[in-house]
Every structure is written in C-alpha cells, then in structure tokens.
Amino acid sequence: MDFYILTLFPEMVMNGLSASITGRAMEKGAISVGAIDIRDYSHDKHHHVDDGPYGGGAGLVMQPGPVVEAYEALSERLGKRPRLIYMTPQGRVFDQKLAEELSMETELVFLCGHYEGIDERALELVCTDQVSIGDYVLTGGELPAMVMIDCIARLVPGVLHNEGSAEEESFQDNLLEYPQYTRPEVFRGMEVPPILLSGHHQKIHEWRRQQSIIRTLERRPDLLEKAQLTKKEQAFLEELREKSLPYQPDRPQGYLATDHADQQHGGGTDGIDAERGSEIPDGDGAQLQEPF
C-alpha cells in the first residue's frame, strides 16, 4: 500500500512514520510513505501558499493552486486519480471500520490543512473523502493523517509480525481486548490470573473472551450491540448485567475476574453507568465550527 501526504510539513510526517512498526514496514516494502511538499507547487516568488480570506476575517486560507497542482502532478505520475482524504474536524469520524475499508486501496492520498483551512474550490476539485479523528480541533492535519496511516498500515499484510494480532484485538469484533500479563508471575503481591498459567488453551480462550465481554460492558456498552457472541457468551453477558457492577475508571484492569483486584479494591454492586459509552466530553461546541 502506498501512502502519499500533501503537507506543508513533510519532515514532521516522515519523522513520525519512519519510527517503530510503520518505519519497519517501509523498510520491508510492505508500505511506502511519500510526503509531498505543497509549497513546491507555489508560483509565488516567496513560495507563499496562503492568503487572507475573501470577505474578511482572521487568519490565512491555503490557496487552491498549489494544492490542486500537487495532487494533479501525483495523479499524472501514478496514471490514476487515487482517493484523496482531507483531514478535517468536519469530516466523518474515523473508526476501525473505515480503516478496514481504506486498507483495501492500493494508494491513498492525505491532504493536510493548516491556518484557517483550504480554499473550498480545491476541495471540490480533488477531495473524495473528508475525515476527522475526533471531536476536537488540532493545529493541522498532519497528526490526524499519521494516526490514520498508522491504523491502516497495521491492517496491510506483512506489516505486523503476528498476523493474528490485528484480528484479535479491540474493535475487530466490537469487543475490547482482554487484559494481558507477562513475567513476573507475582508483581507487588499481585498474581497473574492462574488460568493463564494452566496451559489449557480452550479454557484460556474462554476466559479471555469473558474478560473482553466484561470490559466492553464496563467501558463501552454501546459496542456490545454489534458484538458477535455465542449462546454461552450471551448467557454470561446476561448474568453480568443482572449483577450490574458500576464503572470505576481508576480500578485496575481485569477487575471483575481477577482475585487480586477483589482483594485490593473490593467489589461494587450498583448499576453499570450505561450512559458512559456514548458520552462526548463537554467542550466548547463553537470550536468545532472552525474552518479546518
């Protein structure tokens, strides 16, 4: 999969993505990442790419020419007009489902805005998708593009060592991931759940699925509607719902089914806060109307 990023800060995206797993994937050739400097397409002798907004107002708007020409030069080089995703808080909110859809493409172009946004005509000409990474406003589209590329890249065959690990974790099945443990067996008096030391693979699998269900019920009950559960797991979930334990964000992970957590923090009995999963933090709504 080939990623292209149209940006005014090519070194920022290249530095970020050249590290860790995406960096190794680039070295192996499983993905490629190319940053294209929009400023290279400026016709201005000072290489300006922005100007004040028509109609007045604060800040600068990115001019359409350099953006459109950068995309057209890339399209010509590729012999096709690949999907172009404009990073903006006004877009569709990114999630695992969209990451899976985008991972099927062979090329993706990300357009990163800065200042007060990009001239609307450029977007009309080149943009196929507008995507937000969440309901908050950042200073530019580079970090959102890096978030999306990281997430999509790990779904590309050959990027992760363990191909199974992208499949097993949070959101793949609309269940959150179960708690993980490694050496030492006892840490500050807290033991690894004994089942994980039993070597009994079927039981470990069942325990992990149960932990995932518990976690999802506690932290993201909204996801459970779409989770695929066996009859036995559905019965387990019903039982949990009857017990109705409260959500306590500061308690240790794996709380419900690990003995040490019970010893240290005691069990709760009140209702699960069903509202929590769909909560959007209170913020200044007006912020989201910024032109980015």
C-alpha 93: how far from chain center: 10
- Contact region with ligand ADE (CB under 6 A), list: 87-95, 102-110, 187-195, 239-247: 87-95
Q: Binding ligand ADE by CB under 6 A: which of 10, 89, 117, 179? A: 89
Give the nearer residue to ligand ADE in terms of CB position, either 118 or 245. 118
Question: Hey, what are 161's tokens?
Answer: 């060592």
**Distance between first and last Cα of the chain:** 27
- Contact region with ligand ADE (CB under 6 A), list: 1-9, 55-63, 99-107, 130-138: 130-138
Is residue 283 at the binding interface for ligand ADE, with CB under 6 A as the rule?
A: no
Give the nearer residue to ligand ADE in terms of CB position, either 35 or 256. 35
Is residue 138 at the binding interface for ligand ADE, with CB under 6 A as the rule?
A: yes
Is residue 136 at the binding interface for ligand ADE, with CB under 6 A as the rule?
A: yes
x-marked contacts with ligand ADE along 142-181 as a string, rule CB under 6 A: --x-------------------------------------
Is residue 21 at the binding interface for ligand ADE, with CB under 6 A as the rule?
A: no
Q: How many CA atoms lie within 13 A of 272 on its CB side?
A: 21
* Dihedral over alpha carbons 62, 63, 67, 73 (to 10 degrees): -150
Report whether 31 contacts 3 (CB < 8 A): yes
- Give the nearest distance from C-beta 117 to ligand ADE in angstroms: 9
Give the nearer residue to ligand ADE in terms of CB position, either 70 or 111. 111
Q: Binding ligand ADE by CB under 6 A: which of 35, 99, 102, 133? A: 133
- Give the nearest distance from C-beta 144 to ligand ADE in angstroms: 4
Q: Binding ligand ADE by CB under 6 A: which of 78, 137, 204, 257? A: 137
- Give the nearest distance from C-beta 114 to ligand ADE in angstroms: 9
- Contact region with ligand ADE (CB under 6 A), list: 97-105, 132-140, 183-191, 208-216: 132-140
| Alpha carbons 251 and 219: distance in angstroms, whole number | 12
| Alpha carbons 146 and 13: distance in angstroms, whole number | 7
Please identify which residue in the block is written with the tokens 């019970």: 262
Report whether 290 contacts 89 (CB < 8 A): yes
**Can you state the angle between helices 231-243 and 201-219, rounded to 10 degrees?**
50
Strands 186-187 and 190-191: antiparallel
- The CB density around residue 158, as the number of other CB atoms within 10 Å, is 12
- Give the nearest distance from C-beta 103 to ligand ADE in angstroms: 19
Is residue 7 at the binding interface for ligand ADE, with CB under 6 A as the rule?
A: no
Please identify which residue in the block is written with the tokens 């590290």: 19
Q: Binding ligand ADE by CB under 6 A: which of 52, 57, 59, 134? A: 134
Is residue 10 at the binding interface for ligand ADE, with CB under 6 A as the rule?
A: no
Provide the 3-class DSSP secondary structure of residue 211.
Answer: helix
Give the nearer residue to ligand ADE in terms of CB position, either 105 or 116. 116
- Contacts with ligand ADE by CB under 6 A lie at 87-89, 132-134, 136-138, 141, 144, 292
